[in-house]
Amino acid sequence: MLATASTRRAFDERWVLERKLDGVRALAERDGDRVRLWSRTGKALEAGYPELVAALAAQPVPRFTVDGEIVALDGDVTSFALLQQRMGLQDPVLAAASGVAVTYFLFDVVSLMGHDTTALPLTDRKALLAESIAFAGPLRYTEHRRAPAGPAPLAAACAAGWEGLIAKRADSRYLPRRSADWLKLKCEAGQELVIGGFTDPAGSRAGFGALLLGYHEGGRLRYAGKVGTGFDTRTLHALRAVLDGLVRADSPFGEDVPVRRPHWVEPRLVAQVAFTEWTQDGRLRAPRFLGLRHDRPAGEVVRE
């Protein structure tokens, strides 16, 4: 079940609020001795997060399917940049040697002891989750609170360094799709965007100058602007090597891109970008690269 981006800020007691986490969405299933962990695109994640597999395998309940978010914490704040150091690793030995600890915040239960729980109200599912899972080590329960009458406490969440809040209808069922029963309230404007090209580096910069970004709308890739900040030297080199393997002769965008001497690439990579706002002509203002999203299919990226 996916949340819908929203500008709504006022709620009532029919809603609950959770912390919005900046990580990798993951479902986990235990069936006796077998534990599966997979992304929202169906990609197997067990090899990259062996400590989570071990913690799930040690649970007192032998059969369950749970939903949550894998994050890397920098203090009490989630760091997507830190998590990037684990996301690409598929070797348990390398993952353990990375030095980056991960935490799996669970917020829902989809099945328990062979019983489908998706038709139960959200608050009942969360109660079952809290009672069934032994939260210790890398497993944490995602706390919630009843929404106060009036404005949601988004400012306080932002001041605490959170990415935002998730507002959920207390009586909502778990649906296998995006739903307005779950709403994303973001502190900083953020967007997943498709990489459609890049520019050459200037001066002493390595790798590339900027990434050319877009989103799908009306059957074509719309140009959303370019991002040239948020990269360290290692990322510039590594990403350029990947981009060189995707080079194509023509533009993947369905409109003119006002950039001199661009290099076009197959629109397969998805970047997570922070920015201040959308301009009137549909461009990003002050964008900043946060990392690649390996869990998001490029064909599903639209403007939020």
Q: What is the number of helices (H) and of strands (E) in the chain?
A: 6, 24
Determine phi and psi for 140, rounding to 5 degrees: -130, 150
CB of 304 closer than 8 Å to CB of 5: yes
- CB 23 within 8 Å of CB 106: no
169: which residues sit within 8 A by CB, 6+ positions away?
14, 15, 122, 181, 182
Q: Are 200 and 263 in contact (CB under 8 A)?
A: yes
Q: What type of residue is 295?
A: D
Set 20, 168, 186, 226: catalytic member: 20
For the chain, the first-to-last Cα distance in angstroms comes to: 17
Q: Are strands 2-5 and 178-186 parallel, antiparallel or unpaired?
A: parallel
* Amino acid letter, 6: S
Per DSSP, the three-state class of 300 is helix
DSSP for residue 46? G
As beta bridge partners, residue 132 has none
Q: Of 27, 24, 44, which Cα lies nearest the Cα of 293? A: 24
Q: Supply the DSSP symbol for 23.
A: S
Displacement of CA 286 from its chain's centroid (Å): 21
DSSP code for 259: -
226 has catalytic annotation: no
Tallying the residues shown for the chain, one arrives at: 304
User: How many Å apart are CA 213 and CA 275, to the nearest integer?
Assistant: 13
Residue positions annotated with a catalytic role? 20
